[in-house]
Amino acid sequence: MQYKGVQFLPVQVLHRCYTSMQTASGNGLETPERFHPKAAPPSQTDISTIKTFVAHCKNMMVLSGAGLSTESGVPDYRSKGVGLYDRMNHKPMEHHEFVRSSASRKKYWARNYIGWKRLSSLKPNIAHTKLSQLEKDGKISWHVTQNVDSLCSKAGSKKLTELHGCVERVTCLSCRNISTRKELQKRFQENNSTWSANVLGFGPDADVFIKDEDVTNFHVPACLKCGGVLKPDVTFFGDNVPGHIVEFVYDKLQKSDGLLVVGSSLQVWSGYRFVSRASHCGIPIAIINIGATRADDITSVKVNALCTQVLKHIL
């Protein structure tokens, strides 16, 4: 049976599917669908403009979004034709749903359990590694990513704020103990050794889509320290980025002499606020993104292209 071009597979055979989809290029797993929108190659003028912007900066801040990771195989929400909102009638988990409803938590973790193997196998692309190298070269003073996929840190970025958290970590809502997602995956496997589900499609991060009835017999473990509710250490839709993190980023922004936005439409306030602040402070802004952004009218430079196709030319 087929749905959106994705074959229904029981969980027990997913590992064989993932293994067979490994690519020789080292860019991770080929996906059933392309997860980045089509775009014309950047012109020489586009490339030169970004190179000039970067060259003029001595303490450049980077703000990255989902478009940085789509070429690694991580779907996004808003890209025309390929984003979640265009492809499927599914919405991301809201914070209040997860916190208030055990049924919602079970649904979230069942889907995440299946999708984790794929997400954790994905590799940074050339745009991730180029940003890491620019940091090592002293060009980037700080990198703020809206992504939770850990690909920036895997690429070697150290001066990094994961604005919305990271899926590699799990937190207890009661005792606040932090554990690793890898450890939790082992516990999921132990508690659900005979469980299976049909995969209907892939979503952003470690999300996949399965039938509601397949969730019924999935078992979610509790915190090992206190028996509390476990939650990924990420900011869900409907929640707020902690104030101290926002102030920390504002401070880094004030010390920068340029803001480069990479792969973000800036539709979410948590990221847009920094671009707005940069504009008010007279800090030059450059954007690399496919499609319109919320900040197109206040940016100094805008290049409509894939992140890799521009950043690979930056020395």
| Average pLDDT along the chain, 315 residues, taken 10 residues at a time | 36 38 32 63 97 98 96 71 52 89 96 93 96 98 98 98 98 98 98 91 75 94 98 95 98 98 95 98 98 95 96 93
The binding site for Zn(2+) consists of: 172, 175, 223, 226
Per-residue pLDDT at 90: 62
| 219 carries an active-site annotation | no
Residue-range domains of the chain with CATH: 2-87+114-164+196-217+241-311 (3.40.50.1220)
Query: Which whole-number Å values give the CA distances from 12 to 28, 29, 194, 199, 257, in the listed order?
Result: 21, 18, 8, 12, 51
> What pLDDT does residue 199 have?
85
Query: What is the reported pLDDT for 36?
Result: 65
Q: Of 63, 65, 67, 69, nearest to 249 (Cα)?
A: 63
How far CA 45 is from CA of 49, 53, 183, 236, 300, in Å, comes to 6, 12, 48, 39, 15
Distance CA 11, CA 113 (A): 10
Residues 108 and 190: their CA atoms lie apart, in Å, by 18
pLDDT for position 63: 99
Annotated binding site: 172, 175, 223, 226
Residues 114, 11: contact at Cβ < 8 Å? yes
- pLDDT at residue 163 in the model: 98
Neighbouring-strand partners of residue 7 = 2
pTM: 0.85
SS3 category, 287? strand
* pLDDT, position 89: 59
Residue tagged active-site, from 15, 164, 219, 244: 164
